[in-house]
Amino acid sequence: MREIVFDTETTGVNPAGGDRMVEIGCVELINRCPTGREYHAYFNPERAMPSEAEAVHGLSSIFLSDKPLFGAACEELLDFIGDAPLIAHNAGFDFGFLNNELALCGRDSVCLSRMICTLVLARSKHPGAKHSLDALCTRFGVDRTARVKHGALLDAQLLAQVYVELTGGRQIGLSLVAELGDGGLQASGSATVVASTPRAVRPARPHAASLDELAAHTQFIARMKEPLWAAVGTA
């Protein structure tokens, strides 16, 4: 199963009010394992970067001034994500900005049925705990020492590890739940573990003692003095 974990950085929190997406990072998972395929891009938001937002991600108006507009790069992004489910932390926020950018360049929105929110998963699995990405990395032992500021690709890489832990852990491929596929038995999320054609039924093989063996056993028993089972039988 192919899934895409992604994160965005923006100029603010309200796409309807004119805030824009300035960075996106995507990590491909196949059967909950990172494949090494990633997509990362910066975009010129065609507006000034508020100081509050720059303090979060460190992306300045000067840095973004020579970056492509979203519309010029969206085809490559759409090709990468394909029709896979899209995973994000507080996913409604990221979907809102992604679909706003798509709408601004006349493209169809990404259907919300593809959305998987790790914040919702975390709240369901660990109610009452802290659910920020930093807190979840700490909970699951994910190394976040490189996360000095928010960055879309780095955060997507961290979130991919958190998502795996939230949905079964690093050994999810060892699940004993299995499905019968063409030509063999398959473990969920893993490669074929048994591949065989139906075996011919063999008749039962006789294992009874021979007459000579029975006679030898009788003679052996007869030589035993006061066997324990005889005492039990007369008790």
- The DSSP code sequence of 221-232 is HHT-SS-HHHHH
Residue 57 is a catalytic residue: no
Q: Is the dihedral of CA 163, 57, 18, 67 positive or negative?
A: negative
Identity of the residue numbered 157: Q
8 A C-beta contact, residue 61 and residue 71: no
Annotated catalytic residue within 89, 150, 207, 217:
150
Q: Give the catalytic positions in this structure.
A: 150
